[in-house]
Amino acid sequence: MLFNEVAQYYQKLEEVSSRLSMIDILSEMFSKTSKEEIKALIYLTQGALSPPFEGKEIGMAEKLVISSLAISTGAEQKTIEKLFSTTGDLGQTGEKLVITSKLKSFNSKKLTVLDLFESLTKISNTSGVGSKDIKIRLFAGLISNSSPIETRYIIRFSLGTLRLGLGDATILEALSKSITGNRDSKELLENGYNICGDLGKVAYILFDKGIKGIENMEVELFNPIRPELAERAKSFEEIIERMGVACSVEGKYDGLRAQLHMDKKKNKIEIFSRNLERMTLMFPDILKNAFSEINAESIIVEGEAIAYNENTEEFRPFQETIQRKRKHEVEEKSAEVPLHLFLFDIMYLNGKQLMSLPYEERRSKLEAVLVKRKMILPSAKIIAKTSKEIELFFNKEITEGLEGVVAKDLNSKYVAGARKFSWIKMKRSYRSELSDTVDLVIIGYFSGKGSRTEFGLGGLLAAVYNDKKDLFESITKIGTGFTEKQMLSLSELLGKIKTKKKPARVESTVEPDFWVDPKYVVEVRADEITRSPMHMCGKETYSQDEIGYALRFPRIVSDGVRDKKAEDATTTKEILEMFLLQKKKPLSD
C-alpha cells in the first residue's frame, strides 16, 4: 500500500468529528492493507514504531527536522523557522516547503508503508558518534522522496504530534469492521489485545488467521498483559455481600504497579509498568534478587514495588518510590532507598497460562514459588468471612502505612484489562473526611491573566474517560493548586500538543482558549461531585435529565502529570459511583 494513500486517509480522519465516521475511514484503509503491511500500519497510525513495551523512539527533535528540511528543499533555516512560527505546525511547514521546492528527487519510486516504516526504524536505530548528522541526512532523503501530504504526516510522526485522535478501542472496532463487515468482534479483539499488549500483533493475527486466530491467542513471556483493575465499594458490608461466603483481603500498596517476566534458561528478566512500558532498569535491586528468590524456570507475576525500611518495618511515601523513574543515578538511589516487590498475582508458570484458574489456586502457586522472601514477598492477606474481619485488617494495614485493602473473589479468574467486582478496593480516603482523588485528562487550557500572564496558562479544562463510548467528557475547569513550576511545565507541555479545533474524541460544551490532544493525566481533589448542566460527564450515558456531573472546587494535588495513558484515567462510571458514595458527606480535606 502506498503511503500517499494512507496520508489521504489520515487527512480525512483529521477533518471528521464523529467517532463512527473515524471507524468507517479506518476500516476502509485497513481493508486495502495486506497482512505483511498491517502491523507497520497499525504502529504508524498509533504514532509509534513498536508496542509501548519495546520503547522505540525515532529521536528527531524540531531542530533536526528543520536541518533535514533545509537539505531536502533547499530552503534556508531562517526561512523555515519563520514559516514554522506562522503555521505552528512543522508538518504543515514541511508540506508547504515541498510544494514550492525547486529541488527534484532522483528517486522515482513511490513510498510504500513498509518503505516508510523501514526508513523510520533505521533512523531510530542510529546512535553513537555522529548519529545526529546521520539522522539528518537519512530524514532529508526520506522527505526528498515524499509528496507534500506525505511530508506533513512523516514530520508529525517523527515529532510525536500525529494527532489523529484515535484510541485503542476505535482502532479495534475498525479492525473488526475491515475483516467481518461489522464492529461485533471488537470485544474478542480486545481480549487478544489484553493478553499481549500489542495492537500490531493482534492486527497481524487477525489478517493472517482470522477471528479463529484471535480466539487461540495465548499469553507469551515478555509480552506484558494489560492489568486487571478493581472496583470501589461503599462499605465493608458491601464487599461481603458481593463476594459471598468468604474472600481474600490484601493490603493495598501505594507504589509502582509492576509486572515481572522471568525466563531462567534465557537469563532474562523484564519488568513492565501499569501502562505496559518497560521499566526494568529502574529496579536493579529487584533484578539482583529475582533469580534466587523466585523458584521457577519461567514466570509472569504482578505486584507493587514500594520503598520499604526493613529496620523500622515502615512503608515509605510514594514520593520516595517514584524517584526510581529517573533516568540517571538509579544504582545510587537503589542503595539509598531500596525497593521491595510485593506480589499479589501470578499469570504464567513454567510454560503454562494460569489466568483461567481460580484466584485461590493462583495465590497458592504464587506463595509456593517465593522462597527467600527478602526483597520479593507475597502481599499481606487474610481470608475474611465477615465485614468486621475486613475492617480490622483494613485498620491494621492503614496503621502500617498502606493506603487500604483490596478484596478478591476466591473463585475469580484473572481478567486482563477489565475492571470488575471480583476485585474491590477500599482506601482510607473512602472511610474518612478526605475524598479519594481522581485522575483527569487535560483537554484544553486557558490563557493566564493578571499575575499568571507570564506563564501563559491560567487554568485547565479536564475530562474523564467514558469507556463505553471511547470518548473524553468534560467534568471541570481547574484554576487552583498550581505552583509556578507546574504552570511553566504545563504551559510548555500543552503548548506542544494544542490544536485549532476540538479533538474528535472530546465532548465538551465549555470552550477553552486552546484545545489539546487528550494525552496528559493529572491528579485532582475536589470538595464535592455535583450535578451540572455545564459539563458532559455522564450526561447521556448515565442521566435521564440531560444534566451531567462536575467537580466543585477542584485543585491539582500531584507534582506533575501522572504516568498513565489517557484511557486509564478515572471513568465516567467511577464518577457516578463516587457521587453515590458521598451520601452528602463533605469530600474536602
Indicate which residue of 252, 333, 381, 519 is catalytic.
252
User: Per residue in 331-354, is it b (16+ CB within 10 Å) or e — as a string?
Assistant: eebbeebbbbbbbbbbbbbeeebb
* SS3 state of residue 80: helix
Angle of helix 90-100 relative to helix 77-87, nearest 10 degrees? 130
* The three three-digit cell numbers of residue 285, written as one number: 535491586
Sign of CA dihedral 443, 16, 571, 56: negative
Type of residue numbered 481 = G
C-alpha distances out from residue 153 to 107, 170, 171, 331, 346, Å: 20, 20, 18, 40, 42
* SS3 state of residue 299: strand
**What is the C-alpha to C-alpha distance for residues 55 and 57, in angstroms, rounded to an integer?**
6
User: Per residue in 260-284, is it b (16+ CB within 10 Å) or e — as a string?
Assistant: bbbebeeeebbbbbbbbbbbbebbb
**What is the C-alpha to C-alpha distance for residues 74 and 122, in angstroms, rounded to an integer?**
24
* SS3 state of residue 478: strand
**What is the C-alpha to C-alpha distance for residues 192 and 215, in angstroms, rounded to an integer?**
7
- Count other Cβ atoms within 10 Å, centred on residue 181: 11
Is 449 marked active-site?
no
**What is the C-alpha to C-alpha distance for residues 43 and 39, in angstroms, rounded to an integer?**
6
Any idea what DSSP says for residue 159? T
Tell which residue, 439, 436, 438, 418, has the closest CA to residue 427. Answer: 436
Active site residues: 252
